[in-house]
Amino acid sequence: MQPDSHALIVIDVQRDFCPGGALAVPEGDAVVPGINALMDGFATVVLTQDWHPADHASFASRHPGRAPMEMTEMPYGPQVLWPDHCVQGSPGAAFHPELRTDPAQLIIRKGFRRSVDSYSAFFENDRSTPTGLEGYLRTRGVERVTLVGLATDFCVNYSALDAAGLGFTVTVREEFCRAIDHEGSLTAARDAMRAAGVTLG
């Protein structure tokens, strides 16, 4: 059992990010059994959930003539245009049916503001709007976090970088993550995480 100061953060293990989903990560569902087993070793378990309105600004469908995975500019900077995914209340936004949710004390929903996407469990993509997760962890006495889930090169990566920037000791257990790996994004994410002092385990 990990000490109470060490939390597990499970990132976006949702139907739409698993095979058959709207934004499927290759082998995304393969992480579920390992994550389920890992939960028993932590006193603090947090789940995150992408939770977009149907007209979210990051959806390619909201930009005529644009295709998913193209880049656009938002007021807060560059933004990938995604297929419609994890729409609030939809089957695709639900957690993977085999993911254990009972051990989690907190579910953080992110990306619910129409005009700004939110990859990180800690901040939205404007890099300034907090999700509230930092405060929760601080009041629980958490100093170290282990991150698992989907996808390594986007939401896990952003969450790890923000956690490190906030002063947490951060480990990413890559065997319990899967990546989109679009145009070298996985290599870039690994390099960024290592440079920020994140341990890739």
Q: For residue 38, what pLDDT band results from cuts at 50, 70 and 90?
A: very high
Q: Which two tokens stand for residue 194?
A: 């290592």
CA atoms within 13 A on the CB side of 159: 35
Q: Which of 110, 117, 162, 177 is catalytic?
A: 110
pLDDT, average across residues 68-88: 94
Cβ atoms 14, 92 nearer than 8 A: yes
Strand partners, 199: 171
C-alpha–C-alpha distance, residues 48 and 108, integer Å:
5
Cβ atoms 110, 149 nearer than 8 A: no
110 is catalytic: yes
Q: For position 182, what pLDDT does the model report? A: 86
Q: Which of 18, 86, 155, 177 is catalytic?
A: 155
155 is catalytic: yes
pLDDT, average across residues 13-35: 97
Residue 183 has pLDDT above 90, yes or no: no
Q: Reading across the β-sheet that carries 6-11, which strands appear in turn?
A: 106-110, 44-50, 6-11, 144-150, 169-178, 199-200
Q: For position 25, what pLDDT does the model report? A: 96
40 is catalytic: no
